[in-house]
Amino acid sequence: AQSVTQLGSHVSVSEGALVLLRCNYSSSVPPYLFWYVQYPNQGLQLLLKYTSAATLVKGINDFEAEFKKSETSFHLTKPSAHMSDAAEYFCAVSLNNAGNMLTFGGGTRLMVKP
Amino acid sequence: DTGVSQNPRHKITKRGQNVTFRCDPISEHNRLYWYRQTLGQGPEFLTYFQNEAQLEKSRLLSDRFSAERPKGSFSTLEIQRTEQGDSAMYLCASSLSGSSYNEQFFGPGTRLTVL
């Protein structure tokens, strides 16, 4: 079985500051890892994914994440926050099995202050 | 628009009523997933189909829930005798099996409110 823990249900940063959203996972086999963003009353949009290639993954809107197997982490970062980044962010894990269903963390709400 | 669509977007019902939601996946995608998201939580897996076959169901899917994908295209999720605890956002996603990581594309969701 796999699980995902997102530390910090709410994160607040100033516009232009570094964004760091934390994600730790547990998995019995090498996982696929994803970050999704959700704006109010909308579905989930994929930001980036780790699929066992490069450990540093770049996504849309200047987000990136680094897979660290020794730390079982997949933290999401962005060098400079924009007001439009305010949203809910979800880390998810999927096993390379027949179903590939996603297991999500509880989410982190990012607030960006002007 | 070639994304995943869900209807209705919002549904308000009284406790004990039956409701049905529809999901239309991306046309070439053969896998279809249903997730449930309650307020302040991440989505939780309910069930998935490959073509018309329902291959896995979560323990969250009680006997009051039934999902179908009769022709391997659109899917419906029915909840019978709704309870207030069923109030949630119901998300549908689709993907193409055989891709290396099974990227799932999500629809906008159906928000259910049970009064």
Distances (CA, A) of A93 to A10, A51, B29, B31, B68: 21, 10, 21, 18, 26
B31 CB neighbours in chain A (<8 A) are 100
B41 CB neighbours in chain A (<8 A) are 106-107
| B92 vs B76: CA distance, rounded Å | 10
Q: Token match 């200047």: residue? A: A62
The predicted-structure confidence for B36-84, as pLDDT tens digits, reads as follows 999 889 999 999 999 999 998 998 888 999 999 998 899 999 999 999 9
Q: How confident is the model at residue B26, as a pLDDT?
A: 94
Q: How confident is the model at residue A92, as a pLDDT?
A: 94
| B102 vs B86: CA distance, rounded Å | 28
| B112 vs B79: CA distance, rounded Å | 10
Whether the CB of B44 is below 8 Å from some CB of chain A: the reply is yes
Which stretch of DSSP H or E encloses residue B21? Answer: strand B19-24
Digit-by-digit pLDDT tens for chain A (114 residues) are: 788 999 999 999 999 999 999 999 988 777 889 999 999 878 899 999 988 778 899 999 999 999 998 999 999 999 999 999 999 999 999 876 656 789 999 999 999 999
Q: What percent of chain B has pLDDT over 70?
A: 97
Whether the CB of A31 is below 8 Å from some CB of chain B: the reply is no
Whether the CB of A41 is below 8 Å from some CB of chain B: the reply is yes
| A103 vs A1: CA distance, rounded Å | 10
Tell me, what DSSP letter sits at residue A30?
P
